Amino acid sequence: NPEADLTVEIGVQGGASKPVEFRLGELFAVARFGEVGLFQGVSKKSIKKLETPGKVNDLKFDKTSSLLVAATGLAGVRGEAILWDTTDGNVIQSFKGHSDAIYCVAISTDGNLVATGSYDRQIIVWDVETGTQLLRAPGMNGSTAGRIWFSPDDARLVVAYFDGHMGVWDIQTRE
């Protein structure tokens, strides 16, 4: 499906990896320490460099590739998620509220919500317009979220935890 999100890990020196997010034939983003590079999908031409406060752990485009959100932070240090407009490179919103590194991030299909999962073992759903927390939930069995997705109708949040468990949160009922 050419409209599906695809996130891959690319190996770099020392066996480390860095997040890459792309949509076939459109844009792709590559994370480096302190920045995210935006590239044209077919030509691979560099379009923009977006600054980050350090290590980038995850990247996600919205369904139109006009928004890009990054999960940042180092373990033991507060994390931050940053949402950019990919057309001009401006920061739309910065999401701060986790007490540790943010490992995973998702953006709703309508672009109105961002979800973050952190090493602090919390899941937060944020309102993009106001930057406020709409839902804050603990990880299952005290585990840390490794990946996070919104359902196609944006009603639920699906979370894959590092300990192998999966969880589904209903955003409206907060259960």
* Local confidence band at 171 (pLDDT 50, 70, 90 cut-offs): confident
Residue type at 25? G
What is the strand order of the sheet 145-150 is part of? 145-150, 156-161, 166-170
The answer to whether residue 140 scores a pLDDT higher than 80 is: no
- For residues 48 and 86, give the distance between their C-alpha atoms in angstroms, rounded to a whole number: 8
pLDDT, mean of residues 101-105: 94
For the chain, what is the total number of helices (H) and then of strands (E)? 0, 16
Q: What is the mean pLDDT of the chain?
A: 84
| pTM confidence score | 0.85
Sorted by sequence, the CB contacts under 8 Å of residue 18 that are 6+ apart come out as 9, 10, 12, 30, 31, 32, 56
The answer to whether residue 11 scores a pLDDT higher than 50 is: no
- For residues 39 and 30, give the distance between their C-alpha atoms in angstroms, rounded to a whole number: 8
pLDDT at 110: 92
